[in-house]
Amino acid sequence: MKNIPVVMILFGGSGDLAHRKLYPALFNLYQKGLIRSNFAVIGTARRPWSHEYFRQQVSDAVHETHRGVNEDDIQDFVSHFYYQSHDVTDVDHYIALKKVANDLDEEYKAQGNRIFYMAMAPRFFGTIATHINDQSLTGSGFNRLVIEKPFGHDLQSAAELNRQIRESFDEDSVYRIDHYLGKEMVQNIMPLRMTNPIIKNIWNGDYIQNVQVTLAESLGVGTRGGYYDGSGALRDMVQNHIFQIITLLAMPEPTDLTSDAVHKAKQELLDSLIIPTAADVKKNFARGQYLAGEDHPGYLEEDQVDPDSHTETFVSGKVEFKQGPLASVPIYFRTGKNLKEKNSRIDIVLKHMNNLYGNAHSNNISIVIDPVSEIYFTINGKKIMTDGLRRENLDYRFSEQEMAKVPDGYERLLHDVFVADRTNFTHWAELKQYWKFVDAVEDAWDKQNKDGYAPEQYQPGKFGPASSDKIFDSETEHWIYN
Ligand code: NAD
């Protein structure tokens, strides 16, 4: 790999994301030679840490995720890390930060290249972007901004954030990160769909009855109640991860695999996204809040959650497009907290081909994203010796050895930022469409709340409230994974 000269400025250097994901990922990229001699990382946060203390934190983060690594390598890696105590709301601090960045640029011959990473609470994103601009923190080489989710709270706030960011960065330099796009099985969607003649030729409404996307979590909001209560499952999971997966499933085939071609295909699809009406939301959506379980309180009793909150900890619904191979095929999704198990999966339910076998189950193609990486076909076969059908799975599951080789999503995406590959990042025009959809559902729910409706309470350990089983267009449809 090429050694890329760069000074990286990390806002949120003492945070959980930096510790668990970013430092180990950067170490892997260092070991692979993508960053080697000409890089420096400035970690910033409010605490008054020394460089040495910060380096120890980074070293601890690497040790926690790597076994049997050469200690000299770790020491050399962490020697590139510098700490700057920095309150992102204090303008003067940006002046000091700029000086450190310029000095390190010279020391490491980083050629004026800068990567800014916002790994902080989203309420600070706009402030940081504004001060990067008014204090001219950008360098004379390339300047890239990596920004975590959520990008805005609704279309209006996302547009305002985008405006603030664009004062310093052009759209091509903004990397809106969605770590789902770095996951192995999510990256497998396009090759699976597009290279196999059997799958490619049935990828349309003639053969596909519906698509079901499930991103289920087995834990509650924990200590994040304050943030979550202002967000909810729709904004937290659907606006980004679920829509990214759906887009990959439903987009037309790109003309080639360049970032431009892939995003053009995505945009073509998203321009035809059907924005649901209040009546659609009533019919095809369900929302819920978890009740107390053996080892956790109910959502309304959680710390920092409004006891009268209408925020949903579960949502299921329907997405439909007018264009693309899956035009008019219902794409159902569900996501939530304190569900039966942690599971991220896609189930493609195929149509029944004839009535010869009246009680045949559907044939399905399933892609399991987490906790294992697996693709399987559920097919009907004849029962041995008797009439009737039995279901069989044709299964390909990644072995433990294969999984060990799979890079973490953050490593993959950071790599892409270094080499300026925007294929797996969200463009503004796409994000706008996702927000339009989410805003329409939120508006419909606000009206429902005014009419006295509230999210349905659900028992933990299931896949959401009973109303989620009634969101389907046809009575013969149901969640096929339960
Ligand atoms: P965190 O609360 O652990 O870290 C926040 C960081 O911001 C800390 O370093 C803190 O010191 C710093 N900070 C707070 N106020 C500050 C101020 N005024 N000035 C300077 N620094 C200040 O948060 P996190 O879990 O690391 O999440 C960061 C971002 O990453 C969020 O946008 C989150 O949505 C996203 N994210 C996190 C994870 C994860 O696994 N933690 C996963 C996906 C996305």
Confidence of residue 95 (pLDDT cuts 50, 70, 90): very high
Region 107-122: what's the mean pLDDT?
A: 96
Average pLDDT over residues 376-380: 93
Res 59: pLDDT: 98
Tens-digit pLDDT profile for residues 331-345: 999 999 999 999 999
3-state secondary structure of 162: helix
Binning pLDDT at 50, 70 and 90, where does residue 387 land? confident
The alpha carbon dihedral of 383, 387, 391, 396 has a sign of positive
Instruction: Tell me what percent of the residues of the chain surpass a pLDDT of 70.
Output: 100
Q: Which one is catalytic: 241, 263, 296, 415?
A: 241
CA separation for the pair 120, 107 (Å, rounded)? 28
Which structure tokens are listed for 113? 């290249």
Asked whether 260 lines ligand 1 (CB < 6 A), one says no
Domain 6-176, CATH class in plain words:
alpha beta
**Does residue 381 surpass a pLDDT of 90?**
no
Cβ–Cβ < 8 Å for 88, 120: yes
Question: For this structure, is 80 an active site residue?
Answer: no
Contact between 339 and 482 (Cβ < 8 Å): no
**Equal fold, 6-176 vs 181-408+427-470:** no
pLDDT of 270 above 80: yes
Structure confidence at residue 245 as a pLDDT band (50, 70, 90): very high
Say what the pLDDT of residue 404 is: 85
Residue with tokens 């902080």: 120
pLDDT of residue 385: 81
Predicted ipTM? 0.93
Q: How far is the CA of 14 from the centre of ligand 1 (A)?
A: 8
For residue 13, report the distance from its CA to the centre of ligand 1, in Å: 8
* The one-letter amino acid at 465: P
Provide mean pLDDT across the span 422-433: 97
What pLDDT is attached to residue 361? 84
Does residue 301 surpass a pLDDT of 90?
yes
- Alpha carbon distances (Å) from 116 to 42, 105, 134, 210, 235: 10, 14, 15, 41, 25
3-state secondary structure 412-456: HHHHHHHCCCCCCCECHHHHHHHHHHHHHHHHHHHHHHHCCCCCE
Q: What pLDDT is attached to residue 353?
A: 83
Ligand 1 pocket: which of 16, 178, 240, 408 to mutate (most atoms within 8 A of CB) = 16
CA gyration radius, the chain? 24
For ligand 1, is residue 131 a contact (CB within 6 Å)?
Answer: no
Please tell me the predicted confidence (pLDDT) of residue 329. Answer: 98
Query: Which atom belonging to ligand 1 lies closest to the Cα atom of 87?
Result: 19
Token pair listed for 284 = 């095809």
Is residue 216 within 8 Å of residue 344, measured between CB atoms?
Answer: yes
Q: What's the average model confidence in pLDDT over 238-265? A: 98
Query: Who's near 409: CB < 8 A, 6+ residues apart?
Result: 179, 180, 181, 182, 183
Alpha carbon dihedral 25, 150, 440, 341, in 10-degree steps, equals: 50
pLDDT tens digits, residue range 347-373? 999 998 877 777 778 899 999 999 999
pLDDT of residue 382: 83
More confident residue, 78 or 121: 78
CB 281 within 8 Å of CB 441: yes
Identify the pLDDT of residue 302: 98
- Does 43 have pLDDT greater than 90? yes
Whole-number pLDDT of residue 383: 85
Determine the Cα–Cα distance for residues 185 and 367; give it in Å rounded to an integer: 7
Separation in Å, CA 253 to CA 195, 213, 329, 332, 434: 11, 20, 17, 21, 20
Q: In this structure, which residue's CA is closest to atom 19 in ligand 1?
A: 87
Of residues 232 and 476, which shows the higher confidence score? 232
CB of 308 closer than 6 A to ligand 1?
no
Tell me, what's the pLDDT at 356? 79
Mean pLDDT for the chain overall: 95
Domain assignments of the chain as residue spans, ordered by start: 6-176, 181-408+427-470
CA 172, 178, 182, 188 torsion-angle sign: negative
C-alpha span between 442 and 238 (Å, rounded): 12
CATH placement of domain 181-408+427-470: 3.30.360.10
Checking if the pLDDT of 322 tops 80, the result is yes
Question: From the CA of 477, how far away is ligand 1's center (Å)?
Answer: 41
pLDDT over 90 (residue 218):
yes
User: Looking at per-residue confidence, does 276 or 402 come out higher?
Assistant: 276
Judge whether residue 388 has pLDDT over 90. Answer: no
| Structure confidence at residue 231 as a pLDDT band (50, 70, 90) | very high
Structure confidence at residue 358 (pLDDT): 72
Q: 432 CA distance to ligand 1 centroid (A)?
A: 24
Residue 305 and residue 313 in contact, taking contact as beta carbons nearer than 8 Å:
no
Interval 19-24 mean pLDDT: 97
